[in-house]
Structure 1
Amino acid sequence: MEKLLIKSRRKIQAVSDKFHRYLFKQININSQLVSVLGARGVGKTTLLLQLAKQSDKEVLYVALDDLFFTENTLYSLAENFSQIGGELLLLDEVHKYPNWSRELKLIFDDLPNLKVIFTSSSVLDIYKGESDLSRRALNYHLKELSFREYLELYHQIKLPIISLDDITSNHTSLSDDLSGRFKPLKYLSSYYESGIYPYFKNDKYEYYQQLNNTINLILDVDLQSIENIEYSNIAKFKRLLYVLATNVPYTPNISKLADKISINRNALVQALNLLHKAELLHIVYKQNKSISTLTKPDKIWLHNTNLAYAISGESPNVGNLRETFFLQHTSVTHKVTLPLKGDFYIDNKYTFEVGGKNKTQHQIQNLDHAFIVKDNIESGTMNTIPLWLFGLLY
Structure 2
Amino acid sequence: MQQLIRRYQSLLTGIDLNFKRSLSKKINWDARAIGIKGARGTGKSTLMLQHLKTADYGEKALYFSLDDLYFKTTTLLETGESFYQAGGRKLFLDEVHKYPDWHREVKNLYDFYPDLQLTFSGSSILELQKSTVDLSRRVLFYELTALSFREFLQLKYDWAFPAYTLEEIQINHVEISRSIKQKLASPLHYFQEFLSYGSYPFFKEGLTDYSYRLQQIINIIIDYDLPEAKDISVSTQNKLKKLLYIISESVPFTPNITKLATQIETTRPILLEMLHVLEEARLIRNLRSSTKGISLMNKPEKILLSNANLIKSLSEKGWNSGNIRETFALDQLQNAGLNITHPSRGDFLVNEEILLEIGGKNKTPAQVAHHENHLVFSDELEIGWGKQIPLYLLGFLY
TM-score normalised to structure 2 length: 0.95
Quote the Cα distance in structure 2 between the aligned partners of 1:189 and 1:235. 31
Q: Deviations over 1:280-319 (max 9, x none)?
A: 1011001232222222111101111110111113431111
Query: For 1:129, what is the secondary structure of its paired residue?
Result: helix
Q: Deviations over 1:237-268 (max 9, x none)?
A: 11111111111421111111111111222111
Query: For 1:331, what is the secondary structure of its paired residue?
Result: helix
Over 3 Å counting, the alpha-carbon distance change for 1:251 and 1:51 in structure 2 is: same
Question: Which of 260, 266, 275 does residue 257 from structure 1 map onto?
Answer: 260
> What residue in structure 1 maps to residue 153 of structure 2?
151
Over 3 Å counting, the alpha-carbon distance change for 1:37 and 1:381 in structure 2 is: same
Match runs of 1:61-76 below 5 Å: 61-76=63-78
Question: Which of 89, 96, 99 does residue 97 from structure 1 map onto?
Answer: 99
Q: Deviations over 1:195-216 (max 9, x none)?
A: 1111125854411111111111
Partner amino acid, structure 2, of 1:185: L
Quote the Cα distance in structure 2 between the aligned partners of 1:132 and 1:349. 35
> What residue in structure 1 maps to residue 283 of structure 2?
280
Matched, 1:207 2:230: no
Query: For 2:18, what is the secondary structure of its paired residue?
Result: coil
Over 3 Å counting, the alpha-carbon distance change for 1:141 and 1:168 in structure 2 is: same
8 Å CA contact 1:248, 1:300 repeated in 2: no
Quote the Cα distance in structure 1 between the aligned partners of 2:298 and 2:197. 33
Match runs of 1:1-394 below 5 Å: 1-57=1-57, 58-121=60-123, 123-124=125-126, 126=128, 128-129=130-131, 132-182=134-184, 183-201=186-204, 204-332=207-335, 333-394=337-398
Over 3 Å counting, the alpha-carbon distance change for 1:108 and 1:306 in structure 2 is: same
8 Å CA contact 1:352, 1:372 repeated in 2: yes
Q: Deviations over 1:304-359 (max 9, x none)?
A: 11101111134311111111111111112100001121110000100000111111
Quote the Cα distance in structure 1 between the aligned partners of 2:106 and 2:205. 41
Quote the Cα distance in structure 2 between the aligned partners of 1:133 and 1:202. 35
Q: Which moved more, 1:369-378 or 1:68-77?
A: 68-77
Q: Which moved more, 1:197-206 or 1:60-69?
A: 197-206
Q: Which moved more, 1:302-311 or 1:19-28?
A: 19-28
TM-score normalised to structure 1 length: 0.96
Query: For 2:209, what is the secondary structure of its paired residue?
Result: helix
8 Å CA contact 1:37, 1:121 repeated in 2: yes
> How far 1:228 moved relative to its partner?
3.5
Quote the Cα distance in structure 1 between the aligned partners of 2:301 and 2:181. 36
> How far 1:131 moved relative to its partner?
5.9
Gaps of 5+ in 1: none
Q: Deviations over 1:63-109 (max 9, x none)?
A: 11111211221111111111111121111111111111111111111
Query: For 2:224, what is the secondary structure of its paired residue?
Result: helix
Over 3 Å counting, the alpha-carbon distance change for 1:284 and 1:320 in structure 2 is: same
8 Å CA contact 1:123, 1:226 repeated in 2: no
Number of residue-to-residue matches in the alignment: 394
Gaps of 5+ in 2: none
Q: Which moved more, 1:125-134 or 1:347-356?
A: 125-134
Quote the Cα distance in structure 2 between the aligned partners of 1:289 and 1:70. 48
Over 3 Å counting, the alpha-carbon distance change for 1:191 and 1:25 in structure 2 is: same
Quote the Cα distance in structure 2 between the aligned partners of 1:139 and 1:291. 21
Partner amino acid, structure 1, of 2:99: Y
Query: For 1:34, what is the secondary structure of its paired residue?
Result: strand
> How far 1:127 moved relative to its partner?
5.5
